[in-house]
Every structure is written in structure tokens, then in C-alpha cells.
Amino acid sequence: MRKILIVDDEERIRELIKMNLELAGYECIEAEDGEEALEKIKSHSLDLALLDIMLPKKNGYEIAEDFIKADIPVIFLTAKDSVIDKVKGLKLGADDYIVKPFESMELLARIEVVLRRKGKDIDEFNYNGVKINFSTRAVSVNGNQIEMTAQEFSLLEVLIKNKNLALSREKLLETAWGYDYYGDTRTVDMHIQRLRKKLNWENVIVTVFKYGYRLEIE
């Protein structure tokens, strides 16, 4: 399980991020100021750090170098959205920069990209006899290979990468099909039914009433 440090002086924000990351399968550590964040480097083996910039004691810019030296990828979380602030953060060696407020899906996607770039991502997914390899796009159920279309696999990948999050049909179209929603969402329903049947996931891919779907993983 990948371990992520969340550094923000607002408890409400930390808890919201933590809730969404834990639902997605990450282990989370928290710190409320820069000095506490630096202590976490010594006491935990971290895979990534989410650093707010405006922190008490030592700000995000001041502590970022310590994380980078420890080979811990850094994503800045901040309300600042000027180009100068972004350039400063990236020049320090940060891997990404996301401006508050942001959607959970966007944060998860950025974390996934950074971990993949750093070679810290998880290439396989296993659940109740279903095994998925994201590199080879191979899918098996209880050892038996399952044929899937490219679109079915793309939809499955989006559901897995955002597991336990409710995703609207429009958002699934946008992320799995790669375009904004302008037409009928019934194509999402059709593909969901195919995935449920092929993977025996009738009770795993859950319908969210009048909204969309959620991949429910314990």
C-alpha cells in the first residue's frame, strides 16, 4: 500500500483529502506544519508528499528540498494560482502543482501520474479472483483469460483507479471515452453491464441512483 503524507494547516482539508485517498487504497499520514512534516521523513517510509505552501513554522517552499533529497515526490497543494508561484514550485523540483479547490478525481489522477513517472505505481490489481495487468491490458477471472474491447478496458481502468468514489455517467464518458458529454449516456450503462457479466461483478460495480456508478472495494 502506497503511503502519502498530507501537509496542510487546515484539519478539515487534511481529513477530506485523507478520506478520498484512503477510499482509493492509499495509506495516509498527516502533518499540520512544516516542522512536523520534516519529522515524518524520519519516522515513515513515504511514497509521495502533498504539501500546502502557506504553512506555519516552515512553508512548503522551505521544506520541499528535504523531501526531494529523500527521493520523495512532491505535489504542491495551494490556493495560489499565479504563474510565478507555479514556476517557483516546479523549479524547486516539485513534481506537480494543483490549485485549491480541486476534484478528488483530479488529485487521484495527478498522484497516479507522478507515482508512475517515479516508478512507484502499482501495475496490477487483484480482487476476489479478478486479476488485471495495466501494462499488458490482460484480464483474468480465476485464472481464465477474459477478452475485452479497448473501450471496456478503459472504462474498467477508470473505475479501478477511482475505486469507492461515485462517478457520474458524464464523468465516465469524459474520462474513459475521452470527450465531453454531448449525447446519450446509455452507452455507459451498456458497457457497465458487459463488465459486470464478464467479471462476475454484479455486486461490485454498484449503481448510484440517478447519478452513475461506483466500484465498491472493501
Cα–Cα nearest to 14, from 44, 156, 4: 4
What integer pLDDT is reported at residue 215 of this predicted model?
A: 94
SS3 90: helix
Mean pLDDT of 173-192: 80
63-104, pLDDT tens digit by residue?
Answer: 999 998 898 999 998 887 777 777 777 788 888 989 888 888
Architecture in CATH of 124-215: Orthogonal Bundle (1.10)
> Where on the phi/psi map is residue 60: left (φ > 0), alpha (ψ -120 to 50), or beta?
alpha
Check residue 18 and give its pLDDT. Answer: 95
Q: What is the mean pLDDT of residues 209-216?
A: 93
Same fold, 3-117 and 124-215: no
Give the pLDDT band of residue 171 (cuts 50, 70, 90): confident
Region 178-196: mean pLDDT is 82
Mean pLDDT of 36-40: 94
Per-residue model confidence as pLDDT tens digits over 54-65: 899 999 899 999
Residue-averaged pLDDT of the chain: 89
pLDDT at 37: 95
The architecture in CATH of the region 3-117 reads: 3-Layer(aba) Sandwich (3.40)
Tens-place pLDDT, residues 106-119:
899 899 889 888 77
Nearest partner of 23 among 7, 1, 46, judged by Cα: 1
**Residue 26 to residues 74, 121, 122, 205: CA-CA distances in angstroms?**
16, 11, 11, 20
For 18-30, how does the pLDDT look when each residue is reduced to its tens digit (9 = 90+)?
999 998 889 999 9
pLDDT bracket for residue 216 (50, 70, 90): very high
The CA distance from 181 to 200, in Å, is 28
The position carrying cell 466500484 is 215
* Whole-structure pTM value: 0.71
How far apart are alpha carbons 99 and 81 in whole angstroms? 6
pLDDT in tens, 131-166: 999 888 999 999 999 999 999 999 999 999 888 889
Give the residue extent of every domain in the chain. Answer: 3-117, 124-215
Instruction: Kindly report the backbone phi and psi dihedral angles of residue 91, in degrees, each rounded to the nearest multiple of 5, phi listed first.
Output: -70, -30
What pLDDT, on the 0 to 100 scale, is given for residue 159?
A: 94
